[in-house]
Amino acid sequence: MELSKQNKIKNFFKRYGVMMIAGAFVVAIALAVGLTLPATQQVSTVNLDFTSPMLNAEITKDYSETELQFNENLGRWEIHLGIDFKSDDNKVFSVLDGTVLSVENNSLEGYVVTIEHEDGFTSVYSSLDENVLVEEGDTVKGGEQIGESSATATGEFDEAQLHFTLLKDGVEVDPNLYIDLENK
């Protein structure tokens, strides 16, 4: 009887031992990869020199992907995947060198300029005045004026402000992580 049990165990390991070892190997690799990846995506911006989209500006609503903020104009609570700026001179500047992808106008966001930059970054400037200074296809430098803020974003503002959004590889990211807004 004892010999029969030993044979069954031997046969089991002969039959399934390789699959068990392979499964353990796959689990070990998955754990190693999962533990070495950062919890949040931190992007190397060593060669990128971001500038502020407005000078001497006040932040009227900061970025928040987790905390709901009340939008008085729309009368609802929402996350805010950008930063709203207000400044006395209303001038809006490109935050990096790049190429203008689009210049559009819609009733909710007003005039919107979208600029593509290096390393997968895209910046979006909403609620601009109708006298936008760039056109689709234009090349701009960081710090170059692209327009002026206004109250054309009916979904957000009663007075001239800029709604600024920064994307990395097509996903909104917190501009505070890349732009020194303390020294705007």
Is the per-residue pLDDT at 8 higher than 90?
no
Give me the mean pLDDT over the 1-15 stretch: 63
pLDDT tens digit string along 85-117?
999 999 999 999 999 999 999 888 889 999 999
Q: Which of the two residues, 166 and 74, has the higher pLDDT score? A: 166
Could you state, in order of their start, the residue ranges of all structural domains in the chain? Answer: 1-37, 58-183
Closest residue by Cα to residue 104 from 73, 127, 74, 81:
127
Give me the mean pLDDT over the 158-168 stretch: 90
pLDDT tens digit string along 109-129?
889 999 999 999 999 999 999
CB-based contact 85:164 (threshold 8 Å): yes
- Identify the architecture of domain 58-183 in CATH: Distorted Sandwich (2.70)
- pLDDT score for 43: 47
How would you write 112-157 as a 3-class SS string? Answer: EEEEECHHHEEEEEEEECCCCCCCCCCEECCCCEEEEEECCCCCCC
| Token reading at 30 | 């998955």
